[in-house]
Structure 1
């Protein structure tokens, strides 16, 4: 049974979502996971890829898009056929619940305080429950000061 984690961030700023993604990806890769990040568009996938390559001044997070032949621990896609054949960890940054979600061992949703994102997240939370996955909430608002 997959483990689904919802990370509730204190900000409505989209940039905070990508900053947290960098931290989450760093921890996941350090733990030996291969990440698949699902987005809504090629444009957004390219933006995320660029952000990860420039993760911090002293490091980067190697990643690839399905259109590239680079073998990296992070794959960023936007279509159902981009999902890897051997799924490990999904970071869902799309507005949908991908049908292959239950094939992943770990799932992460990064939630910002935007009305649109919060509404979509409530719907996906119910979809996870409907698929037999009990999501865990991590309220990152309590950790910021």
Structure 2
């Protein structure tokens, strides 16, 4: 059974979502995970890829898009056929509930304080529960910066 973690961020800006994604990806890769980041579009996947390659001034997070022939610990896709052959950890940055979610050992949802994102997040939370996957909440608003 998958483990689903919702990370509730204190702000509404997309930039904070991508900053947190970099931290989460760094921890996950250090723990030996392979990440699949699911987005809603090719343009968003490309933007996330670029952000990860420039994670900090002195480091990067190696990643690839489906059309690239790069073996990297992070794959970023936007269509169901982009799912990895051996699913490990999913980071869902899409508006919907991704297909084959139960195949991943871990699932992460990064939630910002945008009305649209919060509405979609509530729906996905219910979908995980309906699928028999009890989500865990991590309220990052209560943690110091």
Please give the range of the TM-score, normalised by the shorter of the 2 chains. Answer: over 0.9
Matched, 1:42 2:42: yes
* CA-to-aligned-CA distance 1:72-118 (integer Å, 9 cap, x gap): 00000000000001000000000010121110000000000000000
Aligned equivalent of 1:79: 79
Bigger Cα displacement from structure 2, 94-103 vs 21-30: 94-103
The answer (yes or no) to whether the contact 1:89–1:106 under 8 Å persists in 2 is yes
Question: Where does structure 1 lack aligned partners over 5 or more consecutive residues?
Answer: none
Paired with 2:84 and 2:58, the residues of 1 have a C-alpha distance of 29
Superposed structure 1 runs of 4+ greater than 6 Å apart: none
Q: What TM-score do you get using the length of structure 1 for normalisation?
A: 0.99
The within-5 A match list for 1:42-121 is: 42-121=42-121
- Structure 1 contact 10–144 (Cα < 8 Å) conserved: no
| SS across alignment from 1:76 | strand
Q: Does 1:126 align with 2:126?
A: yes
Aligned residue-pair number: 145
Which residues of structure 2 form unaligned runs of 5+?
none
RMSD of the alignment, in Å?
A: 0.6
